[in-house]
Amino acid sequence: MNITLPRRVLLNNHSFLRTFSSSPLSKLEDQNDTRFVSLLSDIVRGNQSWKLAFNDPSISSTLRPHHVEQLLIRTLDDSKLALRFFNFLGLHKSFNHSTTSFAILVHALVHQKLFWPANSLLHTLLLRGSEPKFVFSCFLDSHRKCKFLSNLGFDLLVQSYLQNRRVLDAVVVAKLMLENKLLPEVRTLSALLNGLLRIRRFIMVLELFDESVNVGVRPDSYTCSAVIRSLCELKDFSKAKEKVWWMEVNKFDLSIVTYNVLIHGLCKGDRVLEAVEVKRSLSEKGLKADLVTYCTLVLGFCRVQQFEAGLHLFNEMIEFGFVPSEAVVSGLVDGLRKQGKIDDAYNLVVQKGEVGCRDILF
Protein backbone atom coordinates (compact mmCIF):
# COMPACT_ATOMS: atom_id res chain seq x y z
CA MET A 1 0.00 0.00 0.00
CA ASN A 2 1.52 3.33 -1.08
CA ILE A 3 1.01 6.37 1.11
CA THR A 4 0.79 9.84 -0.41
CA LEU A 5 2.51 12.30 1.90
CA PRO A 6 1.53 15.95 2.38
CA ARG A 7 3.66 18.22 0.21
CA ARG A 8 4.45 20.55 3.04
CA VAL A 9 6.13 17.75 4.95
CA LEU A 10 8.36 16.27 2.23
CA LEU A 11 8.74 16.62 -1.48
CA ASN A 12 10.40 13.53 -2.88
CA ASN A 13 10.04 9.79 -2.69
CA HIS A 14 12.37 6.81 -2.91
CA SER A 15 14.93 8.69 -5.01
CA PHE A 16 16.12 10.52 -1.91
CA LEU A 17 15.05 8.04 0.74
CA ARG A 18 18.01 5.86 -0.11
CA THR A 19 20.41 8.69 0.73
CA PHE A 20 19.75 7.87 4.40
CA SER A 21 21.49 4.54 3.82
CA SER A 22 25.20 4.35 4.47
CA SER A 23 26.14 2.17 1.46
CA PRO A 24 25.35 2.37 -2.31
CA LEU A 25 23.02 -0.29 -3.67
CA SER A 26 22.59 -1.72 -7.13
CA LYS A 27 19.38 -1.04 -9.00
CA LEU A 28 18.12 -4.52 -8.19
CA GLU A 29 18.89 -4.16 -4.50
CA ASP A 30 17.24 -0.77 -4.55
CA GLN A 31 14.08 -2.25 -6.02
CA ASN A 32 14.12 -5.04 -3.44
CA ASP A 33 14.43 -2.44 -0.68
CA THR A 34 11.45 -0.55 -2.06
CA ARG A 35 9.31 -3.70 -2.09
CA PHE A 36 10.46 -4.63 1.42
CA VAL A 37 9.64 -1.19 2.84
CA SER A 38 6.23 -1.34 1.15
CA LEU A 39 5.64 -4.69 2.86
CA LEU A 40 6.65 -3.17 6.20
CA SER A 41 4.30 -0.25 5.59
CA ASP A 42 1.41 -2.64 4.94
CA ILE A 43 2.18 -4.47 8.19
CA VAL A 44 2.46 -1.30 10.26
CA ARG A 45 -0.73 0.22 8.89
CA GLY A 46 -2.65 -3.05 8.75
CA ASN A 47 -4.52 -5.05 11.36
CA GLN A 48 -2.24 -8.06 11.70
CA SER A 49 -0.13 -8.62 14.80
CA TRP A 50 3.24 -6.88 14.61
CA LYS A 51 4.73 -9.47 16.91
CA LEU A 52 3.68 -12.36 14.67
CA ALA A 53 4.76 -10.56 11.51
CA PHE A 54 8.22 -9.73 12.82
CA ASN A 55 8.73 -13.22 14.15
CA ASP A 56 8.87 -14.26 10.50
CA PRO A 57 12.59 -14.91 9.77
CA SER A 58 12.24 -13.53 6.25
CA ILE A 59 11.37 -10.15 7.79
CA SER A 60 13.40 -10.11 11.00
CA SER A 61 16.61 -11.24 9.26
CA THR A 62 16.22 -8.70 6.45
CA LEU A 63 15.33 -5.64 8.52
CA ARG A 64 18.09 -3.01 8.69
CA PRO A 65 18.22 0.54 10.12
CA HIS A 66 17.87 2.17 6.68
CA HIS A 67 14.62 0.26 6.15
CA VAL A 68 13.25 1.76 9.38
CA GLU A 69 14.36 5.22 8.27
CA GLN A 70 12.44 4.85 5.01
CA LEU A 71 9.38 3.51 6.78
CA LEU A 72 9.37 6.39 9.26
CA ILE A 73 9.43 8.81 6.35
CA ARG A 74 6.48 7.02 4.78
CA THR A 75 4.64 7.41 8.10
CA LEU A 76 5.22 11.14 8.62
CA ASP A 77 1.49 11.74 8.33
CA ASP A 78 0.97 9.75 11.55
CA SER A 79 3.86 10.32 13.94
CA LYS A 80 2.06 8.51 16.78
CA LEU A 81 1.95 5.35 14.67
CA ALA A 82 5.60 5.84 13.72
CA LEU A 83 6.52 6.18 17.39
CA ARG A 84 4.61 3.02 18.32
CA PHE A 85 6.46 1.05 15.65
CA PHE A 86 9.81 2.57 16.65
CA ASN A 87 9.25 1.60 20.29
CA PHE A 88 7.97 -1.85 19.32
CA LEU A 89 11.21 -2.66 17.53
CA GLY A 90 13.32 -1.34 20.38
CA LEU A 91 11.41 -2.99 23.22
CA HIS A 92 10.35 -6.29 21.66
CA LYS A 93 13.08 -6.90 19.09
CA SER A 94 16.03 -5.12 20.76
CA PHE A 95 16.50 -3.31 17.47
CA ASN A 96 19.41 -0.86 17.33
CA HIS A 97 17.91 2.23 15.72
CA SER A 98 20.09 4.63 13.76
CA THR A 99 20.60 8.20 14.90
CA THR A 100 18.88 9.28 11.70
CA SER A 101 15.75 7.36 12.72
CA PHE A 102 15.74 9.23 16.03
CA ALA A 103 16.13 12.52 14.16
CA ILE A 104 13.31 11.82 11.69
CA LEU A 105 10.94 10.83 14.47
CA VAL A 106 11.81 13.78 16.74
CA HIS A 107 11.19 16.23 13.89
CA ALA A 108 7.92 14.48 13.01
CA LEU A 109 6.68 14.54 16.60
CA VAL A 110 7.56 18.21 17.00
CA HIS A 111 5.82 18.95 13.69
CA GLN A 112 2.62 17.58 15.25
CA LYS A 113 3.31 19.34 18.59
CA LEU A 114 3.98 16.09 20.47
CA PHE A 115 6.78 17.55 22.56
CA TRP A 116 6.78 15.15 25.50
CA PRO A 117 7.48 11.98 23.46
CA ALA A 118 10.02 13.95 21.41
CA ASN A 119 11.85 14.90 24.62
CA SER A 120 11.75 11.30 25.79
CA LEU A 121 13.30 10.14 22.52
CA LEU A 122 16.05 12.73 22.81
CA HIS A 123 16.84 11.61 26.34
CA THR A 124 17.29 8.04 25.08
CA LEU A 125 19.39 9.22 22.15
CA LEU A 126 21.78 11.23 24.31
CA LEU A 127 22.40 8.24 26.56
CA ARG A 128 24.25 6.73 23.62
CA GLY A 129 26.99 9.31 24.01
CA SER A 130 27.36 10.14 20.31
CA GLU A 131 29.35 13.22 19.34
CA PRO A 132 27.09 16.29 19.12
CA LYS A 133 28.40 17.16 15.64
CA PHE A 134 27.32 13.77 14.34
CA VAL A 135 23.92 14.01 16.03
CA PHE A 136 23.38 17.47 14.57
CA SER A 137 24.35 16.28 11.08
CA CYS A 138 21.67 13.57 11.25
CA PHE A 139 19.08 16.09 12.43
CA LEU A 140 20.04 18.57 9.72
CA ASP A 141 20.03 15.95 6.96
CA SER A 142 16.60 14.61 7.87
CA HIS A 143 15.21 18.13 8.38
CA ARG A 144 16.31 19.27 4.93
CA LYS A 145 15.34 16.16 3.00
CA CYS A 146 11.94 15.81 4.63
CA LYS A 147 11.25 19.55 4.33
CA PHE A 148 10.00 19.94 7.89
CA LEU A 149 8.59 23.40 8.52
CA SER A 150 9.54 23.71 12.18
CA ASN A 151 13.06 24.16 13.57
CA LEU A 152 11.93 23.25 17.08
CA GLY A 153 13.55 19.83 16.88
CA PHE A 154 16.93 21.55 17.03
CA ASP A 155 15.85 23.65 20.01
CA LEU A 156 14.73 20.52 21.83
CA LEU A 157 18.10 18.94 21.06
CA VAL A 158 19.93 21.88 22.66
CA GLN A 159 17.60 21.84 25.66
CA SER A 160 18.09 18.09 26.09
CA TYR A 161 21.84 18.52 26.25
CA LEU A 162 21.33 21.21 28.89
CA GLN A 163 18.99 18.99 30.90
CA ASN A 164 21.67 16.29 30.82
CA ARG A 165 24.26 18.84 32.05
CA ARG A 166 26.18 18.63 28.79
CA VAL A 167 26.38 22.39 28.37
CA LEU A 168 29.37 22.44 26.04
CA ASP A 169 27.73 19.89 23.76
CA ALA A 170 24.67 22.15 23.69
CA VAL A 171 26.95 25.00 22.60
CA VAL A 172 28.29 22.88 19.74
CA VAL A 173 24.76 22.26 18.47
CA ALA A 174 23.74 25.92 18.89
CA LYS A 175 26.76 27.15 16.93
CA LEU A 176 26.04 24.65 14.15
CA MET A 177 22.45 25.90 14.09
CA LEU A 178 23.66 29.47 13.60
CA GLU A 179 26.10 28.41 10.88
CA ASN A 180 23.22 26.80 9.02
CA LYS A 181 20.91 29.80 9.51
CA LEU A 182 18.65 27.96 11.93
CA LEU A 183 17.77 30.56 14.54
CA PRO A 184 17.23 29.18 18.04
CA GLU A 185 14.29 30.38 20.06
CA VAL A 186 15.11 33.14 22.53
CA ARG A 187 14.25 30.90 25.49
CA THR A 188 16.71 28.30 24.17
CA LEU A 189 19.47 30.89 23.88
CA SER A 190 18.66 32.23 27.35
CA ALA A 191 18.81 28.75 28.89
CA LEU A 192 22.09 28.08 27.12
CA LEU A 193 23.75 31.33 28.24
CA ASN A 194 22.63 30.78 31.82
CA GLY A 195 23.95 27.22 31.64
CA LEU A 196 27.32 28.64 30.62
CA LEU A 197 27.14 31.11 33.50
CA ARG A 198 26.74 28.23 35.94
CA ILE A 199 30.00 26.68 34.75
CA ARG A 200 31.67 30.12 34.61
CA ARG A 201 32.29 30.17 30.86
CA PHE A 202 31.87 33.92 30.66
CA ILE A 203 33.81 34.52 27.44
CA MET A 204 31.74 31.85 25.72
CA VAL A 205 28.56 33.64 26.84
CA LEU A 206 29.72 36.84 25.16
CA GLU A 207 30.78 35.08 21.96
CA LEU A 208 27.56 33.11 21.59
CA PHE A 209 25.43 36.17 22.30
CA ASP A 210 27.20 38.21 19.61
CA GLU A 211 26.98 35.38 17.08
CA SER A 212 23.26 34.99 17.74
CA VAL A 213 22.47 38.69 17.46
CA ASN A 214 24.52 38.97 14.26
CA VAL A 215 22.31 36.42 12.49
CA GLY A 216 19.05 37.98 13.64
CA VAL A 217 18.12 36.64 17.08
CA ARG A 218 16.36 39.29 19.19
CA PRO A 219 17.37 38.64 22.82
CA ASP A 220 15.03 39.14 25.75
CA SER A 221 15.81 40.71 29.12
CA TYR A 222 17.09 37.48 30.67
CA THR A 223 19.42 36.81 27.75
CA CYS A 224 20.81 40.34 27.99
CA SER A 225 21.18 39.96 31.75
CA ALA A 226 23.39 36.89 31.26
CA VAL A 227 25.73 38.98 29.10
CA ILE A 228 25.93 41.81 31.64
CA ARG A 229 26.56 39.37 34.47
CA SER A 230 29.39 37.76 32.48
CA LEU A 231 31.08 41.12 31.95
CA CYS A 232 30.72 41.95 35.64
CA GLU A 233 32.16 38.57 36.63
CA LEU A 234 35.12 39.38 34.36
CA LYS A 235 35.34 42.73 36.20
CA ASP A 236 35.03 44.59 32.91
CA PHE A 237 32.60 47.12 34.32
CA SER A 238 33.18 49.75 31.63
CA LYS A 239 32.34 47.22 28.95
CA ALA A 240 29.26 46.15 30.93
CA LYS A 241 27.92 49.71 31.00
CA GLU A 242 28.76 50.16 27.32
CA LYS A 243 26.91 46.95 26.49
CA VAL A 244 23.80 48.12 28.32
CA TRP A 245 23.94 51.38 26.37
CA TRP A 246 24.34 49.40 23.12
CA MET A 247 21.32 47.26 24.03
CA GLU A 248 19.28 50.40 24.71
CA VAL A 249 20.27 51.92 21.37
CA ASN A 250 19.25 48.73 19.58
CA LYS A 251 15.92 48.79 21.46
CA PHE A 252 16.34 45.38 23.04
CA ASP A 253 13.71 44.39 25.58
CA LEU A 254 15.46 45.35 28.81
CA SER A 255 13.73 45.16 32.18
CA ILE A 256 14.70 46.04 35.74
CA VAL A 257 16.32 42.59 35.93
CA THR A 258 19.14 43.60 33.57
CA TYR A 259 19.85 46.82 35.46
CA ASN A 260 19.77 45.00 38.80
CA VAL A 261 22.41 42.61 37.47
CA LEU A 262 24.58 45.58 36.51
CA ILE A 263 24.00 47.22 39.91
CA HIS A 264 24.91 43.99 41.70
CA GLY A 265 28.09 43.65 39.66
CA LEU A 266 29.15 47.23 40.37
CA CYS A 267 28.47 46.84 44.10
CA LYS A 268 30.40 43.58 44.19
CA GLY A 269 33.29 45.43 42.55
CA ASP A 270 33.13 48.18 45.22
CA ARG A 271 31.81 50.71 42.68
CA VAL A 272 28.70 51.59 44.65
CA LEU A 273 28.48 55.21 43.54
CA GLU A 274 28.35 54.07 39.92
CA ALA A 275 25.61 51.64 40.91
CA VAL A 276 23.63 54.49 42.47
CA GLU A 277 23.91 56.41 39.19
CA VAL A 278 22.42 53.43 37.38
CA LYS A 279 19.50 53.49 39.82
CA ARG A 280 18.99 57.21 39.29
CA SER A 281 18.84 56.71 35.51
CA LEU A 282 16.01 54.18 35.71
CA SER A 283 13.22 56.76 35.57
CA GLU A 284 14.58 58.04 32.23
CA LYS A 285 14.09 54.53 30.85
CA GLY A 286 10.55 54.19 32.15
CA LEU A 287 11.60 51.80 34.92
CA LYS A 288 11.39 51.89 38.72
CA ALA A 289 13.78 50.54 41.32
CA ASP A 290 12.40 47.46 43.03
CA LEU A 291 13.16 45.62 46.27
CA VAL A 292 16.18 43.89 44.72
CA THR A 293 17.59 47.23 43.58
CA TYR A 294 17.43 48.75 47.07
CA CYS A 295 18.65 45.70 48.95
CA THR A 296 21.60 45.34 46.58
CA LEU A 297 22.60 48.98 47.00
CA VAL A 298 22.27 48.97 50.79
CA LEU A 299 24.43 45.85 51.03
CA GLY A 300 26.85 47.49 48.60
CA PHE A 301 27.24 50.49 50.92
CA CYS A 302 27.73 48.12 53.86
CA ARG A 303 30.46 46.38 51.87
CA VAL A 304 32.44 49.63 51.53
CA GLN A 305 31.70 50.66 55.14
CA GLN A 306 29.49 53.62 54.14
CA PHE A 307 26.71 52.82 56.57
CA GLU A 308 25.14 56.28 56.71
CA ALA A 309 24.60 56.24 52.94
CA GLY A 310 23.18 52.76 53.31
CA LEU A 311 20.86 53.98 56.07
CA HIS A 312 19.63 56.78 53.81
CA LEU A 313 18.70 54.26 51.10
CA PHE A 314 17.14 52.01 53.74
CA ASN A 315 14.82 54.81 54.81
CA GLU A 316 14.00 55.56 51.18
CA MET A 317 12.97 51.98 50.48
CA ILE A 318 10.78 51.98 53.60
CA GLU A 319 9.04 55.12 52.33
CA PHE A 320 8.26 53.33 49.07
CA GLY A 321 6.71 50.44 50.96
CA PHE A 322 9.45 47.85 50.45
CA VAL A 323 10.20 45.40 53.26
CA PRO A 324 13.98 45.00 53.57
CA SER A 325 15.56 41.59 53.83
CA GLU A 326 17.05 40.30 57.08
CA ALA A 327 20.52 40.51 55.52
CA VAL A 328 20.06 44.23 54.85
CA VAL A 329 18.92 45.01 58.39
CA SER A 330 21.64 42.86 59.97
CA GLY A 331 24.33 44.41 57.78
CA LEU A 332 23.32 47.94 58.71
CA VAL A 333 22.86 47.19 62.42
CA ASP A 334 26.24 45.47 62.71
CA GLY A 335 27.98 48.26 60.81
CA LEU A 336 26.44 51.06 62.84
CA ARG A 337 27.28 49.29 66.10
CA LYS A 338 30.91 48.85 65.06
CA GLN A 339 31.12 52.57 64.32
CA GLY A 340 29.74 53.34 67.77
CA LYS A 341 26.40 54.61 66.51
CA ILE A 342 24.41 52.60 69.00
CA ASP A 343 21.35 54.87 68.94
CA ASP A 344 21.07 54.67 65.15
CA ALA A 345 21.43 50.90 65.32
CA TYR A 346 18.77 50.62 68.02
CA ASN A 347 16.36 52.89 66.12
CA LEU A 348 16.88 50.74 63.06
CA VAL A 349 15.94 47.61 65.01
CA VAL A 350 12.78 49.33 66.25
CA GLN A 351 11.97 50.56 62.75
CA LYS A 352 12.36 47.15 61.15
CA GLY A 353 9.84 45.74 63.61
CA GLU A 354 7.33 48.34 62.50
CA VAL A 355 7.65 47.42 58.82
CA GLY A 356 7.38 43.69 59.37
CA CYS A 357 10.97 42.46 59.25
CA ARG A 358 11.82 39.28 61.13
CA ASP A 359 13.32 39.72 64.58
CA ILE A 360 17.09 39.89 65.01
CA LEU A 361 19.04 40.15 68.25
CA PHE A 362 20.38 43.61 69.08
- pLDDT tens for each residue of 31-83: 788 899 999 999 999 988 999 999 889 898 899 999 999 999 999 999 999 99
What is the structure's pLDDT at 31? 79
Given 83, 117, 137, the domain boundary residue is 137
**For residue 324, what pLDDT is reported?**
87
Higher pLDDT, 319 or 10: 319
Between CA 324 and CA 299 the distance in angstroms is 11
User: Quick check: is 198 in a domain?
Assistant: no
Q: What is the pLDDT of residue 24?
A: 53
pLDDT at 3 over 80: no
| Domain assignment of residue 173, yes or no | no
pLDDT at 355: 55
- Give the number of domains in the chain: 2
d(CA 327, CA 271): 20
pLDDT of residue 16: 42
Q: How confident is the model at residue 335 (pLDDT cuts 50, 70, 90)?
A: confident
Domain endpoint, select from 110, 137, 164: 137
Each residue's pLDDT tens digit, 236-282: 999 999 999 999 999 998 999 999 999 999 999 999 999 999 999 99
Compare 222 and 23 and report the one with higher pLDDT. Answer: 222
pTM listed for this prediction? 0.84
> According to the model, what pLDDT value does residue 11 have?
34
Flag whether 280 is in a domain. no
> From residue 229, how far is each of 155, 198, 199, 224, 311 by CA, in Å?
24, 11, 13, 9, 27
* pLDDT average, residue stretch 154-173: 98
Q: pLDDT at residue 99 above 50?
A: yes
Q: Give the residue numbers spanning the domain of 92.
A: 7-22+31-137
In a domain, 177, yes or no: no
* DSSP annotation string for 90-155: HHHS-----HHHHHHHHHHHHHTT-HHHHHHHHHHHHTT---HHHHHHHHHHHHHHHT-S--HHHH
| Cα atoms in the 13 Å half-sphere on the side-chain side of 129 | 0
Question: Last residue of some domain: 84, 115, 137?
Answer: 137
Is 336 part of any domain?
yes
Residue of 348 and 61 predicted with greater confidence = 61
Give the mean pLDDT of the chain: 88
Position 325 confidence tier, pLDDT thresholds 50, 70, 90: confident
Q: Is the pLDDT of residue 5 over 60?
A: no
For residue 203, tell me if it sits in a domain. no
* CA–CA separation, 275 and 14 (whole Å): 64
pLDDT of residue 7: 34
Q: Decide if 338 is inside a domain.
A: yes
In a domain, 116, yes or no: yes
Which one is predicted more confidently, 351 or 227? Answer: 227
